[in-house]
A = this chain, B = another copy of it.
Amino acid sequence: MLRLKFNQEGLIPVIAQDYRTGEIRMFAWANEEAIEKTLQTGYAHYYSRSRKSVWKKGETSGELQKVIEVRVDCDEDAVLYIIEQEKNRACHTGERNCFFRDPEGREAKRVLPFEALQRLQEIIRQRLEEMPEDSYTVRLYKEGEDRVLQKFGEEAIETLIALKRGIPEEIRAEVSDMFYHLILMLTIRGIGIEEVLQELASRMK
Contact = CB atoms under 8 A, between A and B. Distances in A.
A22 B189 contact: no
A94 to B, nearest CB: 10
Contacts of A140: none
Given A15-B15, A98-B74, A172-B191, A117 B152 contact: no
A128 interface: no
A19 B51 CA distance: 35
B198 A78 contact: no
Contacts of A103: 1-2, 4, 35, 39, 70, 72, 79
A170 to B, nearest CB: 11
Interface of A: 1-2, 4, 13, 15, 17-24, 26-27, 35, 39, 69-75, 78-80, 82, 91-93, 95, 98-105, 108, 110-120, 123, 145-146, 149, 152-153, 156-157, 159-160, 163-164, 166, 168, 171-173, 175-176, 178-180, 182, 185-186, 189-191, 194-201, 203-205
Given A13-B13, A108-B69, A172-B191, A198 B74 contact: no
